[in-house]
């Protein structure tokens, strides 16, 4: 089944997030952490590619038990890194990217994780989604990270448009009401997991049904 959608107006977008916020008041904006947490966040995000959350967590724990700094990871052998991150899958590729990222962090940024999207995306293996997750959850910036769930909800409902997560992120960033930027990612993620699911969306239970711009096509 395909989908045909049009874009919501700014007033309709505001209504969408007003409803989502009212329905889930327990979802609060993240607190800025910074410091060494930023490096751990970048590494964990890189490991999360095509990996289940529980597998990413297991790989991150194993790696950080061995090293917690760029210098520490570079001092590890290839076997030590790949063995530690094996649960996250694609461990050979991810190990190479981790080494390149750590080297670039030391050579180009003095070992400090950049606090802007351009700087983060200059690091090998770090794309827009990973950069925005670090900016939002580690540095507390009003950035809406777009993962597979947010991408799906935005395109179905009509909040943004894009064939890729990066395209949807750019579209959403240009249209996002400022008042909701800090919790938008978590609200959309929650809605995508609970209601606007990939295979069997619960449209009959959706509080956005009257606003949703999705029209099923044969």
Residues classed as catalytic: 129, 147
**Would you state the structure tokens that stand for residue 145, as one six-digit string?**
């990270």
Nearest-angstrom CA–CA distance, 64 and 84:
9
């Amino acid at each position: 089944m395909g989908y045909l959608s049009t874009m919501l107006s700014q007033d309709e977008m505001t209504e969408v997030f007003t409803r989502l916020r009212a329905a889930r008041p327990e979802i609060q904006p993240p607190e800025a952490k910074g410091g060494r947490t930023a490096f751990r966040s970048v590494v964990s995000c890189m490991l999360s590619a095509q990996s289940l959350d529980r597998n990413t967590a297991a790989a991150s724990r194993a790696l950080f038990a061995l090293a917690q700094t760029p210098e520490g990871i570079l001092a590890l052998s290839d076997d030590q890194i790949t063995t530690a991150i094996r649960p996250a899958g694609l461990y050979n590729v991810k190990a190479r990217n981790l080494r390149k990222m750590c080297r670039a962090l030391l050579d180009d940024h003095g070992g400090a994780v950049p606090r802007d999207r351009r700087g983060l995306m200059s690091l090998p293996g770090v794309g827009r989604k990973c950069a925005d997750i670090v900016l939002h959850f580690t540095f507390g910036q009003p950035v809406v990270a777009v993962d597979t769930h947010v991408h799906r909800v935005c395109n179905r409902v009509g909040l943004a448009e894009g064939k890729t997560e990066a395209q949807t992120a750019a579209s959403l960033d240009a249209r996002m009401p400022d008042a909701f930027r800090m919790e938008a990612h978590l609200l959309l993620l929650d809605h995508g997991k609970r209601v606007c699911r990939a295979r069997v969306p619960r449209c009959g239970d959706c509080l956005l049904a009257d606003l949703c711009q999705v029209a099923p096509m044969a």
